[in-house]
Amino acid sequence: MREAATAESRPYHHGDLRRALVDAARRILENEGPSALSLRAVAREAGVSPAAPYHHFKDKGELLDAVAHLGWDALGEAMTAAKARAADVSALMTEIGVAYVLFAQQHPALYRVMYDCSRDQESLPEGMEDKEDSAYCLVRESFRKMVGPEISDEDVELATIAAWCAAHGLAEMSGFRQFDPAKAALGGEEAFLRSVLSHLGMFPAAARAKIDGQG
Amino acid sequence: MREAATAESRPYHHGDLRRALVDAARRILENEGPSALSLRAVAREAGVSPAAPYHHFKDKGELLDAVAHLGWDALGEAMTAAKARAADVSALMTEIGVAYVLFAQQHPALYRVMYDCSRDQESLPEGMEDKEDSAYCLVRESFRKMVGPEISDEDVELATIAAWCAAHGLAEMSGFRQFDPAKAALGGEEAFLRSVLSHLGMFPAAARAKIDGQG
DNA sequence: AAGATCATCTTGACGGCGTTTAGATAGGGT
DNA sequence: ACCCTATCTAAACGCCGTCAAGATGATCTT
């Protein structure tokens, strides 16, 4: 059963089964959705027995973590690309936000897994953490560049959190039929996203205006 | 097995099993979390056979829908109460938003089920739809009252959507450990929520300021 | 080259799940 | 008293995640 396996087709027993399993999981996720993503289905898709994955992952959750990790990497790249695309500093945040939501819309099953894993661990994964070169820092520094140096570090931090929450909320809710009229009125998905993101400011801005005006 | 069942303990075969099942589901949800919420466990908790629920619900999803419905009712009440509590018009939205997120934090398993059901049906449930007396209208009209009549209907609609997305995003993400430093710096969960909600305005407001300043 | 070693994979099993079918049971209508 | 229908139970099906035991084959030692 082992013919000519020097370094390509199957370097070891099976080959790089770990990677094969993660790829199989992503394939199932894209083709059949999250509800079809069972460990047994992944093993089937990879052509191994149901118990084989346990030699590479502690349990199903660890396999999903690996899938989610690839997803966060891809999302980070999409956001970085959006930053590079931004025409000027004032468009930075909108560009990144739209890229975030579009990624979630284009890979809904993957995005679901990404967030379910994060929620279970109560934290964003490695690539998104608050350290050099992370997407979190990308957002924060883009934001700081936009608002200027007169804003305090604490305000920048809170605004970064707020922007991330808003993007996630919009990513999860933008599929609701309730928003179809608004989308139609604006003439497209991306126009709708831009409008909603830009209207995120109206509520507190108006409140502050009233407060400032009063006291 | 049927002793003295006139109209109270068990009016029919079992009694009002439908309600009993929904109650059992909520009990399991609060005590053991969403992962323990199997149809069989619900039947067990209600003291009936695993097949009994199928005479009251088409499948597990329909039972979850019923549970979710109660959840949305409770959330709507919490939001209405928050509106009544608001000191003045400018505090309306913040008060409602904080109430929304606090509800999600206090009933995390229930909130998860509520949203999973909504996502499956791609829409918010009855009580939240865009019609008289719904929570959606509550938010929109509160918002209109706050910003004044000079804002167009379309802008109010988009801002309502944006506020709802932001609240949902914050509700789902506020448990992340990444935000612990910010919470500590602000001295409490609710203060953190208020700050994040109020900072939702910084990003687009700053962008618009730059755009207005340039063009 | 031969044997030991160890990671890798398969087989088979366990209990739990959602769901269906067939049969028991008990209220209500005639 | 009778049937009828709604309600519930018993038993089974296939799927799931997981584990223990054994087979397989690559690598290492000598």
Contact between A202 and B203 using a beta-carbon 8 Å cutoff: no
Does at least one atom of strand C sit less than 7 Å from the CB of B5? yes
Looking at the structure, tell me whether residues A186 and A202 fall in a common domain: yes
Contact list in A for residue B177 (CB cut-off 8 A) is 122-123
Per the domain annotation, does A146 fall within a domain?
yes
Q: Which of A88-92, A96-100, B151-155, B179-183 has the lowest mean pLDDT?
A: A88-92
Looking at the structure, tell me whether residues B139 and B74 fall in a common domain: yes
Of A184, A46, A20, A32, residue with least CA distance to A108: A32
| pLDDT over threshold 80, residue B15 | no
> Using the CA of A18, which nucleotide's C1' is the nearest one?
C8
Which residues of chain A between 55 and 74 are close to nucleic strand D, CB under 7 A? 59-61
Distance from CA of A174 to the nearest CA of B (A): 9
Residues A173/A200, Cβ–Cβ less than 8 Å: no
Whole-number pLDDT of residue A209: 63
Which structural domain range is residue B104 located in? 63-198
CA angle A69, A72, B197 (to 5 degrees): 130
Whole-number pLDDT of residue A14: 67
Looking at the structure, tell me whether residues A151 and A128 fall in a common domain: yes
**B104 reaches A (C-beta below 8 A):** no
| pLDDT over threshold 80, residue B71 | yes
Looking at the structure, tell me whether residues A125 and A168 fall in a common domain: yes
- The CATH number that applies at residue A17 is 1.10.10
Of A79, A73, A67, A62, residue with least CA distance to A24: A67
- The CATH number that applies at residue B40 is 1.10.10.60
Condensed to tens digits (0 to 9), the pLDDT of residues B82-131 reads 999 987 877 888 889 999 999 999 999 999 999 999 999 998 887 777 77
Looking at the structure, tell me whether residues A141 and A68 fall in a common domain: yes
Of A144, A204, A166, residue with least CA distance to B198: A204
Distance (Å, whole) CA B105 – CA B116: 16
Distance (Å, whole) CA A166 – CA B166: 4
Condensed to tens digits (0 to 9), the pLDDT of residues A137-196 reads 999 998 888 888 888 899 899 989 999 999 999 999 999 999 999 999 999 999 999 999
> What average pLDDT does the segment B189-194 reach?
95
Per the domain annotation, does A44 fall within a domain?
yes
Per the domain annotation, does B180 fall within a domain?
yes
Per the domain annotation, does B136 fall within a domain?
yes
> What average pLDDT does the segment A124-128 reach?
77
Looking at the structure, tell me whether residues B42 and B130 fall in a common domain: no
How many domains would you assign to chain B?
A: 2
Per the domain annotation, does A5 fall within a domain?
no
| pLDDT band (50, 70, 90) for residue A213 | low
Q: Give the chain A residue nearest B142 (alpha carbons).
A: A203
| pLDDT band (50, 70, 90) for residue A87 | confident
Whole-number pLDDT of residue A215: 40
Per the domain annotation, does A2 fall within a domain?
no
